[in-house]
Structures are given as C-alpha cells and as structure tokens.
Structure 1
C-alpha cells in the first residue's frame, strides 16, 4: 500500500509513523533523565532532539497542507483549524497535571505542599492558553513555563511558528525562504556549538526564550521549504530505515564529554540541519509495504500528539519516586519505567478515542456555524 492516495492529495503515512516513533523516544528520554546526574550521562542522551524533529515535521505538514489554500482561506480560518487541532489535548494535559500535582509532593519539589489551591488553578487556566506563566507562578520549582505539564513549552513555540507562517512567512518566495533557512541554520549551529547542545527553551527568561526560538525557527522553516520543493522518490522499506536512523540519532551517547562540549554541538547541529531533513525526505518518498505497516504507521501517528501531551503528568510520579529513593539504579527503575511508558501509550490512545477526536469533531461543527 503506497503512502499516497491517487484520488486526493497524497498523505504521508510514514511521516505520521515517524512522529509516533519520536514521541515514544521522548518518553524514554524523560524516564531515563532522572537517573543521570546531568546532560553528560543520560542514557537516552539526545532524546530531546525529538522536539526539533517535531518542529521540522510541523513545518513540512503546515506548508504541504495549507500553502495552496490561501486564495480561499483567511488567516482567521487557519487559526481556527490549528486551535481545533492543538488545544483540546493541551487542555487535557494541563488538567491531568493539575489533578496529580499535590500527589507528587517530593523532596525534589519542596514547594508543592506550600502552594494554595487557587494558585495551582490559576496556573492551570493559564496553561490552557499555552501562554507561559511568569516565574512568580513557578509552583513546582523547576522554573518551567508550564509547571503542571512541562512539555507545554514546545506548544508555545509551535504557536509562534504558526502565527509567523500565517501572517508573514507564507508570502515569502522560495528564494527568500531559502535565505531565511540558511540564516536560521547558522544561528542554530552557533547556539549548539557555543552551549554544547540545544537543550532548553522551557523557562520564561531572555536566554531561554532565545534558545526556544532558535530551536523552532530553523526546523520549522526548513520543513516549510521542503514541502515546497521536495520531489519524492520511490523508496522501499523507508519506514523501517527511517525509524532505525531516527532511533540511532536520538539514542546516541553524548559526544565529546565535558572537556569538548563543542563536539556535541557539532553533532546536534548536523542532526537537526542535515540528518532530520534527510529522514523526512526518505519518509515522504517511502512506500508502505503492506497493510500491517500502514496500520502501524497510522496507530503511531494517531497517538503521537496525545502521547506527547499526557505522558509527563505520569512522569512526575516516577521522578518523585526516584527522588525519594536515593540511589535507585536502572535495574531497579526499569519495571516502573516500563509501566509508565506503556501506561502513557494506553492513556494516549484512550484520550485520542474518548476525548480528542470527539472534541475536535464537535469543535469543527461549531466552527462551521460561526
């Protein structure tokens, strides 16, 4: 079964599947992160680069889906579509984070038991909008934009990219867009090599906002450019090859160590600027081998966004347990980590079928009445 439907605009099912693969790797990154002492020794050391891969996929899908609709679609209609697609799971993710907040009281978060309910609810309501909370509302103590669901920071930058696309960048010629992509790549490489990695973007201060914007702009614009100029080939076994390559990239140990931070920066720059676009090109050129591969890609694609939004409220419990049991080893933690991983996948699927899809259908019908 091909990834293209000859009766309509082709749908890239393999890219959907790769988004799901990346989402699962993100969960494994967050499950191994508390077992390390810092960026240098996390088992899934480059798992956070999956977010940069998401931004690249987002730019590709946005351009592919909407670039040819602007003669009939207004900016308001575009934003309605994006809000309907993104916001229901944002609301659920923040709600789950709020429901579990006080139950994750731990030595790692000494503030939790001092937070009044009204303050937690205020943070939840702000989280529903994806706007970052100020540091004065940091109720967990990690200086996060969204203390109830850490991953909300990337949705904030996703919206910024969508806004820039709708009001400005969609009008760029391919030449102008190429120039902007090159400049963004230079800025990304400078950030990565100077800092030793691109990790960051989740705190509301000038430096971290710069990191978040730099991580967003290049991959999103590169994906948009690819959607315009890409001429897919015909590649067999693309899903398997791309999944393997993506896993190798994201599971790669830290490069260079503390003495040569720039080496890791070069590695991450290469991944984001060259390897990720190559994976997207291969995925877009791929041919599904059979119905089983189609079902796998569809399932992974369907759960990818819900999984990203619901897993961290469960990870908070896991992190609290590790913090309160000093010296926990990987051997001791893996049964609990496995439980959280598969529990997150089950929760994501339930959220998709019982909440996200019904709510989006209802919102879609309401938007037609406006």
Structure 2
C-alpha cells in the first residue's frame, strides 16, 4: 500500500466554515492512490518501473491534511471539550469505515488465492474471522499472524496501517502536544522534518515507502512519516498559512497530481536523489498545496461541487479499495496478463472501487455516523 492516508476531515465546530477545497484535494489524492496501486501490479516489485511513481506520498499528504483540519476543528474547543469527547468524535468519524474495510477484506479473501500471497492457503476460516475482528478494533498483527505473507499489520486491508498511525498522532495531540506554543511546536516540526529527510535520503530504498509492518523498521517508518506532516499541518493552521489564488482547486490539484506522478529520480545508482525529492515534497511542496487549498473557502461553483463530491468519497475509497487490488494484482502477476488487457480490467476495477466506496458512504458510513453522533455526541461540547 496508507495511506493515509487515510485521513479524513472531522466535523467542524458550529459557526465554522468548511474547507471544501481541502476535502477535494483528499479526494484527488485518494483516486491517485488507487491508480498507483493498480500500476504496482506491473512494477515487478521494482520501484523504478512504477508509472505513478510517487503515489505512496499521498499518505504523507493525508497526514498533513489531517493535522490541519484537526487543529482547525479542535484547537479552540478544549475549554469545553474533554479528552473523552475528542476521542469519541474521532472514533465516530473514522472507525465505521475501518470496520467496513475489514469486513470487505474478509469477504473477498477467498478470491485471493494467488501465488504472490504465500500464506493464503494456510489460513482457516476461523483464522480469517479472528483477523477480521482484530482489524475492526485496530489491533495490529505481528508478522507471525500474517495470513497473506506481505508483512501487513492488517492483512485483510493493508491501507488501514495509516489509520493506526493517524490514531497515534491524534492521541499525542490530545494528550499533551496540543498545549505546545507555536515556537515549541515549530521546534518539534523541525526535528520531525530532519527525521523525514534522514529516512528518505539515508534509508536503503531512497524513498519514504513503508510503515505497514510490525517490526522495528516498520514502526520507525510509520512514526517518522506521521510526525512531520501531522504536526506541520497543525502549525500551518495556527500560523494562518493561507495563499489566495484564482481557481485554487484546479491549481492545487494539478500541483498534487504532478507531485505524485513524477518519475523516480536518480535511478538505482543514486537512490538518495529520489529520497531528497520525497523529503522536499513532504516538507515544502505539500504545505504549499494545502495553503493554496485552504486559501479558498468558496461555497459554490462547479469546481467546488466537484471538490465536495470527491472529498466525501475520499475516505471510503481509500479504506475499501485494496481488497479489490489484491485480486487484480494476483490475477495480473500469476497469469502474466499483457498490459493492454490489464489496463482494461484496471479501468473496471477503478470504476468498481469508486462505486463500492460511494455505496459504503451513502448506505453505511453517513447513516452510521449520524446514528452514533446523535447518541454519543449530542451532550458533548
């Protein structure tokens, strides 16, 4: 795979306007992630061959958006909101689709018996059910419990790893880091930026890929990837980092797509060059894109309506698409499917992923969140 990146916008406090353009950017990033994962089937585990080459950075972009929006929604509410109220709101916003992603992953696991998943055949029905239930409550699994063989902490729905780290970042914010002054927060962000740069440039891969394995390296990557963008997003919101340009959604979307789609730099001989690009994108370019998107709070217009639609769809798309990707990747690799045929089926998978996400949004996520909010949040500040 998360991303993610996945992240999602929380409901803002009463009286606050909504950053529709930021929602739309999250939707653009989610669509790019799906396309990135489709192309991975033809990359032969070689990042040099990936077409949407930096799509993995969408997860880091999600973390940045999440920090910005969490600070916007909650920074001024702590005098009337408890820790329990904060965590309840985040669970209501994020957890229903985490559960749905785990359910879909379990339902489609039986169709994923391909050779690229070495542990698939050894997983019993009850093992899959147990893994599904643990995924529903976000309990990460060690490699010994991986029923697929890809060292994922959530082997039924790989992208859920990024939600695990988003929850960690939210907890750090609520439990104390929200009290940091802007100067102290800037120091934390600067240290996290240095860690991001070191991981990207000095790491063995020359990129920021990783974070989904429950081992020392995976945890280091996951924490490093979330710390800078999440808390940089908070700092950006607090400092009022807004850039007003015409056609903000189109401009920021174009910048984001180009940043995620650029080819890999440096080749196999100079991996550090690509790492330098990854770090620069996360530390400098992504905050610029968010500042442009946040500079426009328009409530109407064609581009804003498009942004609103894809913003609503983004989180369900991110957290439900990967069980389809498992099937597609296994089919392409095992059967050595030619590119033209794979592209045709890939388009079908993309359409199916969007349709599945939309159905989950309208038939499950929105009604469940309304039901939970009415019962759990009505009396909270």
| Deviation >3 Å, runs of 4+ | 287-290
Q: Which of the residues 127, 130, 142 maps onto 1:134? A: 142
> Does the CA-based 8 Å contact 1:237-1:287 persist in structure 2?
no
Higher share of residues assigned helix: 1
Residue 269 (structure 1) aligned with residue 272 (structure 2):
no
CA distance in 2, matches of 1:49, 1:232: 22
- Alignment of 1:112 onto 2:131: no
Does 2:215 align with 1:179?
no
| Aligned with 2:39 (options 32, 50, 68) | 32
1:94 to 93, 98, 102: 102
In structure 2, C-alpha distance between the alignment counterparts of 1:178 and 1:51, rounded to whole Å: 22
User: Gaps spanning 5+ residues in structure 1: where?
Assistant: none
Partner of 2:350: 341
Aligned to 2:321: 311
Task: Give the TM-score of the pair, scaled to structure 1.
Answer: 0.96
Q: Which residue of 1 aligns with 2:262?
A: 252
CA distance in 2, matches of 1:233, 1:114: 54
The DSSP-based 3-state class of the residue aligned with 1:103 is: coil
Distance in structure 1 (CA, Å) of the matches to 2:175 and 2:316: 28
Deviates more, 1:230-239 or 1:252-261: 230-239
> Would the aligned equivalents of 2:59 and 2:162 in 1 still touch at CA under 8 Å?
yes
Aligned to 1:359: 368
- Tell me by how many angstroms 1:368 deviates: 4.1
Once the two structures are TM-superposed, the CA of residue 41 in structure 1 deviates from its matched residue by: 1.2
Task: Tell me the distance in 2 between the aligned counterparts of 1:231 and 1:204.
Answer: 35
What pairs up with 1:290-301 in 2 under 5 angstroms? 290-301=300-311
Look up the match of 2:4. Answer: none
Q: How many Å apart are 1:311 and its aligned residue? A: 0.5
Structure 1 residue 233, shift from structure 2 partner: 4.2
273, 278, 281: which is aligned to 2:288?
Answer: 278
Q: Secondary structure at the match of 2:58?
A: helix
Q: Which residue of 1 aligns with 2:202?
A: 194
1:148 aligns to 2:153 (yes or no): no
Deviation sequence 1:64-91 (CA, Å, 0-9, x none): 1000000000000000000000000000
What is residue 9 of structure 2 aligned with on the other side? none
Are residues 60 and 211 of structure 1, via their aligned partners in 2, closer, same or farther at CA, if it must alter by over 3 Å? same
